[in-house]
Amino acid sequence: MTIRIEKRKPCGAVRGRWRADVLGFDEWGDWFAVHDGGVLLLPLADPWAAWFAADGSVRVDVATQVTAAAPVSSFVDLDLDVERDADGTVHALDREDFLQRSPSYPSVWVDLAWAAWHEVQTDVSGFAEPFGTAPDRWLAEAATRTPVSLPVPA
């Protein structure tokens, strides 16, 4: 099954829109194949979305909780990101962007973003699940499929 995923800006505008092939779900959330052979995890209740690559790297967008209403899943990107390179180096990104834009965000989003950003940094650095071996099963599954993650026309 294929669904549409929308990554939105806090103002509501669409920042990114694409189709993704549903791989399945587990205790961490819904997993999707993405065009580069990696996988996307949209968690059940956590305020972030994570992209995992076959080389072991990961990128996490701190976001509002995912809203899933078939055939569309969406989230609001709150600027703050965490990346872990294939060599295990972790980068906390976009703090300045967040500080610049956050005065226009609802205060509940600001509090959520800071808390999630710090928690995700700790979990990604420590390879805590789902940032450890949890993506391996889904990466193997994605490798057997023809990717369908193509941009969706506006």
Task: Measure the CA–CA gap between 21 and 145, rounded to whole angstroms.
Answer: 9
Tens digit of each residue's pLDDT (9 = 90 or more) over 76-103: 999 999 999 999 999 999 999 999 999 9
Task: Measure the CA–CA gap between 12 and 51, rounded to whole angstroms.
Answer: 22
- The answer to whether the CB of 148 falls within 8 A of the CB of 33 is yes
Lowest mean pLDDT among 14-18, 31-35, 116-120, 149-153: 149-153
Domains located in the chain, CATH noted:
2-133 (2.40.380.10)
- The answer to whether the CB of 152 falls within 8 A of the CB of 4 is yes
Task: Measure the CA–CA gap between 22 and 2, rounded to whole angstroms.
Answer: 6
Average pLDDT on 132-144 reads 94
Per the model's pLDDT, the better-predicted residue between 123 and 73 turns out to be 123
- On whether the pTM is more than 0.95, the answer is no
**Percentage of the chain surpassing pLDDT 90?**
72
